[in-house]
Amino acid sequence: MLPRFELYQPTTLPEALGMLSETGGNVRPFAGGTNLIPDLRGGREQARKFVSLAGLDDLRFTRFANGRVEIGSLTTVSDLHRSHEVLRNAPALHASATAFAGHMVRCTATIAGNICYGSPSADLLPPLLSLDANVTLASAAGLRILPLSRFNLGYKQTALKPGEMMTQISWPQPARGTVQLFYKLGLRKGDAISVISAAVSLTLKQMVCTHARIALGSVAATVVRAERAEALLLGRELTEKLIGEAAELAADASAPIDDLRASKEYRLHTARVLVRRLLRQAAEGPGEAGSTRRSTEG
Amino acid sequence: MVETVPTATNSPNVQLHQVGKPLIRTDAPNKAYGNTLYAGDLTMPGMLYAKVFRADRPSALIVKVDTARARALEGVRCVLTAWDLPDRLVVTDIPGQTGGKTKNTAQPILAKERVRFFNEPIALIAADSEEIAASARDLIEVEYAPFPGVFDRAEALTAGAPLVDGDANVVAAYKIRKGDTERGFEEADLVIENSFRTQVQEQAFLEPEAGLAWMDDKNVLNIKVSTQVVEHFRAIADALGIPHNRVHIEAMYVGGGFGGKEGLTIEMMLALLAYNTRKPVRLILTREESFVNHGNRHPFTLHYRSGVKKDGRITAMEVRLIADSGAYSKLSPYVLLYATVGAPGPYKVDNLKVDSVVAATNNLSTCAFRGFGTMQACVAYEGQMDEIAKSLGLTPLEVRQKNFIHTGDRNATGQKIESAVWSEQCAIQALEALGERAKGNDVVKIGRGLACYQQSYGRIRWFKDSSEAWVGIEVDGTVIVRCAVTDIGAGQSSSLAQIAAEVLGVPMEKVVTYFGDCTLNPLAGTSSASRALYMTGNATKMAATKVRDNLLEWAGRHFQVPPDDLQLVEFRVTAISDPARSMPIDELARRCAADGVHRHHLAMFKAPTSEGLDPETGQGEVFPDFTYGAHACEVAVDTETGEVTVLKSVGAHDVGQSLNPQSVAGQIEGSALMGQGFALCEEIIQRNGVLVTPSFSEYLIPTSEDVPETKAIILESRSGLGPFGSKGMGEPAFAPVAASIANAVADAIGVRIFELPITSEKVINALARKASGQVKMH
Ligand SMILES: Cc1cc2nc3c(=O)[nH]c(=O)nc-3n(C[C@H](O)[C@H](O)[C@H](O)COP(=O)(O)OP(=O)(O)OC[C@H]3O[C@@H](n4cnc5c(N)ncnc54)[C@H](O)[C@@H]3O)c2cc1C
């Protein structure tokens, strides 16, 4: 049963920040509610005061200008999924939005909710991490900007301080010719929590790797970057042998657990498979934008 | 997509005007517009809200239940525990039958001395609001003492295993001894032996259990509820110690049952609270409560040993089955019987030995679920067929063609098959409909699978099943059908309207079916066992035919023609020999009324009966008849990740006669997806009896994005026992789906996964076993 809770409904950001700070941090942001409502119902969420962000329309935007990409924190997953700009400029993020949940949830779930929930299976995180995204956190006291890699600290632990909320996510446009890919493995095609996911962002000049980011979801307490694999690729020609070694190192970067969805061994195996697959695809050239096991639809 | 193939018929002269047409179901528009009220939508003034307190462990002694704080909470009207109920509170074992009870199926309504399964109900609460009821539930305290449980079905059958109830954990056991298996195996050129395992599946109907109960001014206890069986009124009256005629159950339109609403759902809980408070009480289960409230699909271990000649003919078959009933037997003996009788599938096996047993454990109860034991056997016997084909270098179709049972043959229990057996036609058409094979590559492998089946429709013969229906025509030419069948979403009430419309020659819109009411309608029996259309359809057709005869007798006199020269179509009675002699049906009805002609009739249809099986040989007649058909599918398997994608799914079934092809296609399409869930992703997992997949977050049913290209092919032999030669379709459409997917995966990757569901991980493990040579090669 859904417990009783209080929901404040501000219409401006300052008003929202005021509400978040007033009660000494006992109040939490409430965006799409697609994590919060099931958690409240299931007794996993103890907070009983929330500030609804639904009225803050200004925080729902996608901007591509001056070599930067800026996404408002209230942008929904289906906004990302429907955006041609996202498809063109951030194909891996687009692919993750396409593989995300099902139509109903995509229409409500927000990008910031996905990040701030702090789950290692959050689908938007591997692509965002592979893009070196920054997050902007606002409080009544002001703004601070943090690299996403320093935001998710542990399982459902984030760098958010009491009274703070996320307002935007941004990153520099990757160099031309950067290939961005994403793949999600779930136990079914729709509404699946990932068993494992991987995102790759790779810049190649004549097959030599000049920039590499590899991020893996559902293999550790947070989404992780395979930094040793990235370092291995840098400045080297992307051969089949190198791809194999990088895939091994990527698997080493993961510390998966056994759970209901899969065993640790299976996750290690598929971490290797997915990284190898995405790197091979990158070697084949940008070709189609992004990669997902599901085709893009309406 | 539907394709109807009207083929040879037993009665070629019937000309059907409304039956067999995809008419808009009478229940469809209001459901589509959201106007239909389901049990959980109902409210009443002064209504109380109920909650159920359940045990938090699977096996324990109950030392003390302390409800004092819950009772003291303001707004709490009633808290009931086993100590507040008289001792006679047990439930019947055969839902819908006239009073059939066996003592070993007794289940306490509320746990008293012992908890036998996780979340067993211990107390009932009624309060002024749902919130208060929930708070009261949190205030109940139970003191438990440890009691050992048993959670593995094989272990439960070993000496010294903790006893779930009584003096043994054997709930039921059967054997079939037919022919001479020893000789059969001697004659065999090849013997193939395999063990299969199937998992617990949750019905996952759209509408969780819900209902509203109240005492009325006639001192009648009324219960409006989501159920497949209104005949539970008897068990409830017995439990309360009140006469049967004071319990009035009305089944609302039901949002799906699949067997999960065949046993008592929440009627008894509602009855006890309404009876004790004298107030209306409503209970709606959450999804999590629903998961533990009804019995799920029995998990089975199926061991098959088949002897075959080089040409593929089966010379002998030995089968051992072990199923898990959970803590209370419910319908387990019957589920096991279906699996036992169904063990050889739609094949003629003259030398057959089957030993089966269902064990009590402290797992969640298992009970009725579409396919009812038979579909679990299908996974195994169809897996065996493909393994045989592979070993002999035959195609899956060829090996089946060598063994199909035919009309006039005797099945596993020696019962002669009287109706058409079109397994072969169905298999060929299903395979053909797959069309061109998808292209695979080094990583993604394509596979195809076929599965055939034999699934009974109608209840076990010694239940002596019957159904009644009343049909009447009003003086304006409109027709009323009264029949207490429950409409569980498959169009039960609409089909009866269609039958009455056909017989009486009125448009279907002029028929109203009053259904689901155990008091005001003649009793019709359950909507289960693929029997609803077969039984209630026949009763309705009989009643309508009698009304028609009465009307035509009057019209024959009036028009001075013999009654068989008259036809009732398009709302007119017309003489075939002289179409000028004709009148509209409303006028006919009015004039019949004026002349005192009986314009209504109550009919009873009785199914064929028998007196049971020989306990030593398992020989005898068990079911009225069987449906045959096939399912074929094509899958793509990613051999690096193990992902299985069903690309195409085709069901081809001989339905006898389709009443409404759209409804038949609905059964086939729904089955395709439900079977896919069973094959690939659905599994109720318990760890030492504790449910670890308690909601739709962990228990994964296929979503709209998992739907493959699906096709329904309807064949019509008009040879069934149902109205117009129809056969049951609710379960048959489902029976072969999972087996065909399992076979397709084996075809794609060259190695079989013997344990459902076939998850990506199992695929990877099977491929690894194959690569390391650990798979036995034939
Ligand atoms: C059926 C279903 C399917 C799902 N499938 C997927 C899936 O495929 N992939 C996936 O990744 N997730 C999935 N989810 C989880 C969920 O939808 C996502 O995590 C979603 O992005 C959460 O966003 P929200 O706006 O709904 O967050 P909310 O539920 O509103 O909030 C989640 C958390 O983030 C905090 N928060 C929200 N916005 C802010 C902000 N601006 N600043 C600071 N904190 C904030 C909240 O306080 C809360 O702790 C699924 C959920 C459901 C119910």
Q: In chain A, which residues have their Cβ closer than 8 Å to the Cβ of B681?
A: 187-188
pLDDT tens digits for range B535-562? 999 999 999 999 999 999 999 999 999 9
For the Cβ of A31 lying below 6 angstroms from any atom of ligand 1, the answer is yes
Cα separations in angstroms, A77 against A97, A127, A136, A172, B339: 6, 13, 18, 20, 47
Interchain contact, A1 vs B698, CB within 8 Å: no
Quickly state the pLDDT bin for B347 (edges 50, 70, 90): very high
**pLDDT the model gives residue B15:** 82
Specify the 3-state DSSP secondary structure of A148: helix
**pLDDT the model gives residue B13:** 44
Backbone angles phi, psi at A237, to 5 degrees: -80, 140
**CB-based contact (8 Å) between B706 and chain A?**
yes
Of chain B, the percentage scoring pLDDT greater than 70 comes to: 95
CB atoms within 10 A of CB B444: 17
Closest chain A residue to B676, measured at CA: A188
Quickly state the pLDDT bin for A24 (edges 50, 70, 90): low
Nearest atom in ligand 1 to B696's CA: 1
pLDDT tens digits for range B285-311? 999 999 999 999 999 999 999 999 999
Q: Which residues pair with B318 in a beta bridge?
A: B305, B353
Quickly state the pLDDT bin for B100 (edges 50, 70, 90): very low
Domain assignments of chain A as residue spans, ordered by start: 6-52, 57-172, 178-283
CATH of segment(s) A57-172: 3.30.465.10
**Token pair 């008009």 in the structure block, residue:** B718
Q: In chain B, which residues have their Cβ closer than 8 Å to the Cβ of A260?
A: 685, 692-693, 698
**pLDDT the model gives residue B732:** 97
Fold observed for domain A6-52: 3.30.43
Beta pairing, strands B352-360 & B170-178: antiparallel
Residue B7 has pLDDT above 90, yes or no: no
Specify the 3-state DSSP secondary structure of A69: strand
Mean pLDDT, rounded, for A19-27: 81
Distance CA B339, CA B301 (A): 11
Residue B703 has pLDDT above 50, yes or no: yes
pLDDT tens digits for range A119-167? 999 999 999 999 999 999 999 999 999 999 999 999 999 999 999 999 9
CA nearest B324: which of B303, B295, B287, B304? B295
Among protein residues, the one whose CA lies closest to atom 48 of ligand 1:
A117
Mean pLDDT, rounded, for A58-66: 96
Distance CA B754, CA B379 (A): 9
Residue B676 has pLDDT above 60, yes or no: yes
Nearest atom in ligand 1 to A111's CA: 21
CA–CA min distance B640, chain A (Å): 7
Among protein residues, the one whose CA lies closest to atom 52 of ligand 1:
A34
For the Cβ of A147 lying below 6 angstroms from any atom of ligand 1, the answer is no
Q: In chain A, which residues have their Cβ closer than 8 Å to the Cβ of B692?
A: 260
B73: left (phi over 0), alpha (psi -120 to 50) or beta: beta
Distance of CA B152 to the CA centre of its chain: 26
Q: Ligand 1 mean position to A50 CA, how many Å?
A: 14
- Out of B641, B693, B703, closest to residue A189 by CB: B703
Residue B775 has pLDDT above 80, yes or no: no
Specify the 3-state DSSP secondary structure of A144: strand
Q: In chain A, which residues have their Cβ closer than 8 Å to the Cβ of B130?
A: 1
Interchain contact, B705 vs A190, CB within 8 Å: yes
On the CB side of B298, how many CA atoms lie within 13 Å of its CA? 37
Q: Position B516: which residue type? A: G
**pLDDT the model gives residue A26:** 80
Q: How high is the mean pLDDT of chain B?
A: 95
Interchain contact, A266 vs B761, CB within 8 Å: yes
Label residue B99 exposed, middle or buried (CB < 10 Å: 0-12, 13-18, 19+).
exposed
Residue A291 has pLDDT above 50, yes or no: no
pTM, two decimals, is 0.96
Structural domains in chain B, CATH included, are 47-147+209-284 (3.90.1170.50), 300-460+612-771 (3.30.365.10), 466-606 (3.30.365.10)
Quickly state the pLDDT bin for A23 (edges 50, 70, 90): low
**pLDDT the model gives residue B11:** 43
DSSP B712-748: EEEEE---SSSGGG----TTTTTTTHHHHHHHHHHHH
What torsion, rounded to 10 degrees, do the Cα atoms B84, B88, B93, B95 define?
Answer: -70
Label residue A248 exposed, middle or buried (CB < 10 Å: 0-12, 13-18, 19+).
middle
Check residue B535 and report its DSSP letter. I
The answer to whether B540 and B481 have CB atoms below 8 angstroms apart is yes
| E-assigned strand segments in B423-485 | 444-457, 466-473, 479-483
Distance of CA A194 to the CA centre of its chain: 12
Question: Both tokens of residue B144?
Answer: 């438990």
Residue A13 has pLDDT above 90, yes or no: yes
Among protein residues, the one whose CA lies closest to atom 11 of ligand 1:
A122
pLDDT tens digits for range B365-376? 999 999 999 999
The answer to whether A123 and A99 have CB atoms below 8 angstroms apart is yes
DSSP B43-83: --TT-EEEEEEE-SSSSEEEEEEE-HHHHHSTTEEEEEEGG
Of chain B, the percentage scoring pLDDT greater than 90 comes to: 93
Specify the 3-state DSSP secondary structure of B749: helix
For the Cβ of A138 lying below 6 angstroms from any atom of ligand 1, the answer is no
- Out of B130, B134, B681, closest to residue A187 by CB: B681
Backbone angles phi, psi at A198, to 5 degrees: -145, 145
What is the CATH class of A178-283?
alpha beta
